[in-house]
Structure 1
Amino acid sequence: MTTSPAGPPPESTTPSADDDAILDRATFERIREPRGAARLPLGDGTWHQLARAYVTVRLISTAALLAVVIAAGFAAQTWSGTPWPWIPAGVIAAGCVWTLAITPRQARSYGYQLRRDDLVFRRGILWQRMVAVPYGRMQLIDITHGPLDRGFGIAQVKLVTAAATTGVVIPGLTQEAAERLRDTLIDVAETRRTGL
């Protein structure tokens, strides 16, 4: 969680201290920000992070894919009797190794902020993206989690809007934080009588 200088006074649409405690439980301590002068600024307010377990889940799934690629490379070489299957297997394996190397740093660059009129989502160190989704434009809030996610107690929240380009997927929230975020966004939409 990163806090910036005090902004406007809390509104009924901003999360309470109890909400912040739930949204920030078992997460990274601060959002990782690129160092360059041309970076997208974080701005004021409180940024919430992904759960630490998200990194573990990504590492396990990428390592499993790497093992399958290596096994498939061996099987294809044995079956064909030539080393050519290692060309595509090597390219995919190199991509998996790169993903394993950058996942911990990449996960710390994700963050979201609940502001008065919108939810702001940011991600990326090299390729940065910052999206502001107005509460009134949200049409659907979807929580999903696979078997590995459930084992580590994390979920993914997808915010769907009328414009496909402004849809946001927040991966790796704790299950409790995902449900609290969903409930908060639904409450905001109901008070404004728009969206959802």
Structure 2
Amino acid sequence: MPGPTDPLEPWPDTVRWQPVSRDLIWVELLRLGATLAVLLIGLAIGWAVSGHRLFGYGMALLVAFGLWRITVIIRAVRAWGYAERDDDLLVRHGLVVRRLSIVPYARMQFVDVTAGPLERAFQLATVQLHTAAAASDARVPGLRPAEASRLRDRLTDLGQHRAEGL
């Protein structure tokens, strides 16, 4: 059987990827909408005060950017996934630059679960894994609180048991 052709998909048949909640799309779209609204209001005020058409062009570019960003957000959330294996956690994400992080349970130092006001409104949380190397930290956003708690407890338990063997 030939090896994998994509280095980011090394275990297509043996790994069961878990997707994040699609409600994360709404959280990200609301964040984008708030940012664009502030910028558009600023440009509209500038246009009204100065009457210079460059502000109108800026508004048009901002709307075009917003439409492009909506597409990217939808696709990016669908690209997030995680998989629990016996010795490590796999986390994948990204569209243009795809990333696959493999975090061994024995290397985890602590696990955070966070949820800002917007995430809480959509009943979502983020699990953040911290290791000794900052570059190897991984996060899994868009989890339901029960799943985030379960994952946190499982990762913490597995991390303690694996670290005892070192």
The reply to whether TM is greater than 0.5 is: yes
Structure 1 counterpart of 2:8, one-letter code = L
Equivalent residue runs for 1:118-133 within 5 Å = 118-133=88-103
Structure 2 counterpart of 1:158, one-letter code = Q
- 1:101, CA displacement in angstroms? 1.5
Equivalent-residue separation in structure 1 for 2:103 and 2:7 (angstroms): 20
Aligned-residue RMSD, C-alpha: 2.0
Equivalent-residue separation in structure 2 for 1:92 and 1:56 (angstroms): 20
Counterpart check, 1:164 vs 2:134? yes
Q: 1:92 to 1:143 in 2, by over 3 A?
A: farther
- Aligned pair partner of 1:182 in 136, 152, 155: 152
Q: Deviations over 1:42-96 (max 9, x none)?
A: 5112211101211111122212222222111101222333233456555554433
Equivalent-residue separation in structure 2 for 1:89 and 1:138 (angstroms): 46
Secondary structure, in 3 states, of the residue corresponding to 2:49?
helix
> TM-score, normalising length from structure 1?
0.72
What's 2:78 paired with? 108
Equivalent-residue separation in structure 2 for 1:57 and 1:126 (angstroms): 21
Q: Which has the higher helix share?
A: 2
Structure 1 counterpart of 2:9, one-letter code = P
Equivalent-residue separation in structure 2 for 1:189 and 1:163 (angstroms): 15
What's 1:52 paired with? 22
> TM-score, normalising length from structure 2?
0.84
Secondary structure, in 3 states, of the residue corresponding to 1:112?
strand
Equivalent-residue separation in structure 2 for 1:142 and 1:91 (angstroms): 38
Equivalent-residue separation in structure 1 for 2:81 and 2:151 (angstroms): 13
The gaps in structure 2 that reach 5 residues or longer are none
